Amino acid sequence: DLWNTFFPSLFLTYELATGNDLQVNFSRRINRPNFWQINPYVDISDPMNIRKGNPSLQPEFTNSFELNYNRQYSTGNFLVSLFYRNNTEDITMYSDTISQKELENLNNAAISPNAILTTYINADRTNRSGVEITWQQRFGKNFDMTPSFSSTYRDLKAEVNGVNLSNTGFNW
């Protein structure tokens, strides 16, 4: 698939007035699984909470869109960002009770049949949208403060072994 080998970035900035900018940007990125996410060996350091990587994980792709307003003034800066990110093949942590087959494969290594096995899956997609607000204010030469606010709405679509794990959530 040609699209999966193409990673463009486009940043357009328009100066509304001196110190007031509006920016629109798009970027496409790839995130490959790390070593622990694909490591097939089971970590049983805690016999109730077992970890195992998934060697079948695929890279995830992110399409990111942002609209930013930036206001600079003599003693500080104010930035508002609106964003939308679409992740396909999103690498997602997944936990479930250990299966009988997996328990047998561990050959009675002091594992409880009620142990939780945590691994990773590729979700179909995760969409995130939100706002970030940052204000930096300097007070004299030696002091500044930078309060910020961030909120994100997440919509995940995933299925494992015929079980629908799709969910949504909001955080701030």
Q: Would you say residue 142 has pLDDT above 80? A: yes
pLDDT tens for each residue of 68-111:
999 999 999 999 999 999 999 999 999 998 888 888 888 766 78
Q: Is the pTM of this model over 0.85?
A: no
Helix (H) / strand (E) element for 109: namely: none
For residue 122, list its beta bridge partners: 91
Residue percentage of the chain with pLDDT more than 70: 98
Strand partners, 152: 130, 171
Averaged over 9-24, what is the pLDDT? Answer: 95
Predicted local distance difference test score (pLDDT) of residue 91: 95
Q: What are the φ/ψ torsions at residue 157 (nearest 5 degrees)?
A: -120, 115
Residue 4 clears pLDDT 80, i.e. is over it: no
Write the pLDDT tens digit of every residue in 42-71: 888 888 999 999 999 999 999 999 999 999
Confidence band of 117 (pLDDT split at 50, 70, 90): very high
> Taking residues 147-163, what's their average pLDDT?
95
